[in-house]
Amino acid sequence: MYLRLYGEEVIEKHLKKKGIKKEKDVEELYLANSGLTECVDLSRFKYLRCLWLNGNKLRRLNCLNHNYRLAELYLQNNQFVEVFGSLKHLTSLRVLMLQNNQLTKLEQLVTEFEKMQCLHTLNLFNNPVAQEPDYRFFVIHSVPSIKLLDRQEVLKVERDTARKMYDQNQEKIRETVAFGHRSEGPPTLYYPAERPAPLTKFDSRDIGNSFLRDKMPYATEDDAVNARRLKKSVTLFTTFDWSKVPRIEERRQADQAFDSPEIITHVYR
Q: Candidates 1.10.3720.10, 3.40.309.10, 3.80.10.10, 3.90.1150.10; correct CATH number of 2-181?
A: 3.80.10.10
β-pairing, 121-123 vs 95-97, is parallel
Average pLDDT, the chain: 80
Distant-in-sequence, close-in-space partners of 229: CB < 8 Å, separation ≥ 6? 269
Look at residue 21 in the predicted model and tell me its pLDDT. Answer: 82
pLDDT (mean) for 255-268: 70
Residues 6+ apart with CB under 8 A from 20: 26
Domain chopping of the chain, boundaries:
2-181
148-149 and 152-153 beta bridge pairing: antiparallel
Q: Number of C-alpha atoms within 13 angstroms, CB side, residue 244? A: 11
pLDDT tens string 39-95: 888 999 999 999 999 999 999 998 999 999 999 999 999 999 999 889 999 999 999
Mean pLDDT of 193-210: 62
Instruction: Tell me which residue of 63, 72, 16, 18 sits closest to 36, measured CA to CA.
Output: 63
